[in-house]
Structure 1
Amino acid sequence: MTTWTALTTLAGKEAAEALGEAMESLEPAPTGVGVFELEDGSGLWEVGGYFDEMPDEAGLALLATVHDARPFAVSELPDQDWVAKVRRELSPVAEGRFFVYGSHDADKVPEGVEALLIEAAMAFGTGHHGTTQGCLRALDRLARQGVAPAAVADIGAGTAVLAMAAAKLWPATVIASDIDPVAVEVAQANLAANGMEGRVTCIEAVGLDHPALRDAAPFDLIFANILMGPLVELAPRIAVALRPGGHAILSGILNAQADEVAAAYATAGLAEVQRDIIGEWTTLTLRRNGTA
C-alpha cells in the first residue's frame, strides 16, 4: 500500500506538540503523528505525519503558517516491506565481547562472544547506531576492569539491548525503562527471543519516575542513551539514584554537546572517567564521587 509523509520543523517543544495535535484534525486524517527534537543542537523540533491517502496540502500549508513552521515537505513512499528491507541491510555488529545480530544472520555468530539477537523493529537500539555501540564499548571496558554491579538501570532502553548486555555479564537486578509503550513491548519480545525472560524487568516510565526504579535504587550502573536535553535535566536525579562509586554510561550526545553534558554531571557529583567517540556521537562514562 502506498503511503505519504508530511514533515516540517519549527522551534520549541510546546509549539511542536501543538502543531502535532492540530494535524490530527486534518482530512484525510494521518495514521500517525510524531514529534521529535532534532539531535543537532539547533533547538528545532520535527513534526511529521503518515497518511494512507494523499494529504491535504492546502491544509498543511495553513497549519504551517498558523504555527510558524517551515512549509511541509510531502513525499510519497513506495509500497515496500521496510522491516524486511532493514533486516537485509543491517549487518551484525561486534563491539567488545558483544555480537549484535538479526535472525537472518544467526549463522554468522562466532564462538566466544556474548550474542544478542535484536530484530529490526519500531524501537531505537539495534546496535548499529554509534550511540549504542559506544555504550556497549563502555560496558565491556567496565567489565574488563572488574566492575560487577548488583543493580542496573537502563533509562530510555529502546530495544533493551544494553539492559540485556548487562544481564549477560552479571546476575544483577536489571530494569529497562522507556517512555514509549511500543519500545517496552519490543524489549519484552527481545528478551524472549534471547531466552532471557525474567532477567530484565521492562517498564514504561518517564526518566526515573517509577516505583520499580525507586525501590531498586541505589544503582551501581545506570545507562541513559537518550538526548542531550533530557540527559542534562536528569543529571541530579541520576546522581541521587547512583550508589557512591557507581557508574553512569551516557549517550545520545553529539560530539559538540559532550562538554556541556559532562559539566552538568560534574556539578551533580559525577566525574568523567572515559569519553568514547564513534562518528559524530560521544559516549560518556562517569563515576559518582565517594566509595561504595
Structure 2
Amino acid sequence: MTAALPATHRANIAIGDEAAARRVFDALTEFFFEGETAIAAFARPDGRWEVTAHFADSPDQALVRMLVKNAAGEAVASGLSFDTLEATDWVKASLEDLVPVPAGRFVVHGRHDRARIAPNRLGIEIEAALAFGTGHHGTTRGCLTLLDHVLKAHRPRRVLDLGTGTGVLAIAAAKARHGRALASDIDPPSVEVARDNFRLNGVGNLVRAIRATGFSAPDFASRGPFDLVLANILANPLRQLASPMARHLAPSASVILSGLLNHQAGAVIAAYRARGLVPVRHLKIEGWSSLLLRATG
C-alpha cells in the first residue's frame, strides 16, 4: 500500500504583466533550493500570469513577500496568498499547468503532455526540479534553439553540458545526435536530478553526469577536447570560465552560452573574443541573452 503523501505548502500570485511574472519567478528560483521547492510560471486563459511555489516545509511568508516585492513591487506582493495542500504530490501539482515549450526541433514537456508531442519533434520530459532547467525559462529556450541551429550544419562528436542543472541540454544533444555527452554541475542534488532525467528520457547510457567545479575534474581532459560546449550558468561565472574553457576546445568548436541578462552579453562576448572565440549568433528571449560562439584556432 502506498504511504500517504505529506501536506505541502503553497504560495500563489496572479500577475497581469508577463515581465513582472518572470522577474518574480527568477527571484524565487534563485533563492530557494530546487530540491525542496517547485516553482512554476504560466499564462492563464484570462491573459494574466500565475506564479506558484510549492514548499516541502512551511515557508517564511515575510521572506517570500519581500522577494516578490523586490522583484515586482509592493502592489504585486500584496496579492500573494499562502495555503496548505493536503496529501498531494507537490512537484506534480506545480507542473500540471505548464504547457509544452518548443525550441527548434525540441519540445520540453511534462509527463502529462507526453502523448501530445508530434512525431517530428524531439521531446524532452522533465518532471522534477524546476528553476532554469525546464525550458520555460528564456535561457534554456535560447540554448535549445541555438543547439538546433548548430546541429543542422555539424555533428559534434565530443559534447559537454557545463552546469547541467536538470539535464535538458545534455538530453537534447544526446537525443539529436544519438551520441554520447558529458554533463557536469557544481551542485550534488542537481547531478542526481540530471541522472534521473537522463534515464527518464532514454539517454542514461549516453550521458555521463559528474559533480565538478569549473573544469577541475579529470573527465574534462579525458573526454575532451570538446567540439561543442553548452553552458547555461550566469554571466560572472561564464566570464571566469573563458580561459579554462578555451583550453578544452577542439579547433572550430562551437560554444553556446546563456544565463546572462541582455546588458551583460557584451562583457561576456569580450571575454571569449579575447580567447579566440567569435560571436556567430545572439538570441534575446524575455530579457535574457543566449550566445553562439565559434573557436577560430
Match 1:97 to one of 95, 105, 115? 105
Quickly say closer, same or farther: Cα 1:103–1:52, change in 2 above 3 A: closer
Q: Number of residues paired by the alignment?
A: 234
The aligned counterpart of 2:191 is: 184
TM-score (norm 2): 0.72
Q: Which has the larger radius of gyration?
A: 1
Could you tell me whether the CA contact under 8 Å between 1:98 and 1:115 is conserved in 2? yes
Quickly say closer, same or farther: Cα 1:264–1:54, change in 2 above 3 A: closer
Give unpaired runs (5+ residues) of structure 2. Answer: 1-6, 12-30, 38-54, 64-76
Q: What SS does the aligned partner of 2:229 have?
A: strand
Match 2:149 to one of 138, 141, 164? 141
Query: 2: CA distance between counterparts of 1:221 and 1:205?
Result: 18
TM-score (norm 1): 0.73
**Paired amino acid for 1:161:** V
The aligned counterpart of 2:241 is: 234
**Paired amino acid for 1:79:** T
The aligned counterpart of 2:119 is: 111
Match 2:135 to one of 103, 127, 152? 127
Could you tell me whether the CA contact under 8 Å between 2:95 and 2:110 is conserved in 1? yes
The aligned counterpart of 1:280 is: 287
Query: 2: CA distance between counterparts of 1:110 and 1:54?
Result: 39
| Displacement of 1:166 | 0.7
**Aligned residues with identical type, % of pairs:** 45
Query: 1: CA distance between counterparts of 2:156 and 2:198?
Result: 20
Query: 2: CA distance between counterparts of 1:167 and 1:156?
Result: 16
Deviations 1:5-44 (A, max 9, x none): 9xxxxxxxxxxxxxx9xxxxxxxxxxx999xxxxxxxxxx
Could you tell me whether the CA contact under 8 Å between 2:235 and 2:264 is conserved in 1? yes
The aligned counterpart of 1:25 is: none
Could you tell me whether the CA contact under 8 Å between 1:94 and 1:100 is conserved in 2? yes
Q: Which range moved further: 114-123 or 242-251?
A: 114-123
Q: What SS does the aligned partner of 1:203 have?
A: strand
Query: 2: CA distance between counterparts of 1:149 and 1:215?
Result: 17
Query: 1: CA distance between counterparts of 2:278 and 2:129?
Result: 35
Query: 2: CA distance between counterparts of 1:54 and 1:254?
Result: 29
Match 2:83 to one of 78, 84, 97? 78
**Paired amino acid for 1:163:** A
The aligned counterpart of 1:248 is: 255
| Mapped pair 1:259 → 2:266 | yes
Quickly say closer, same or farther: Cα 1:53–1:256, change in 2 above 3 A: closer
The aligned counterpart of 1:40 is: none
The aligned counterpart of 1:28 is: none
**Paired amino acid for 1:139:** L
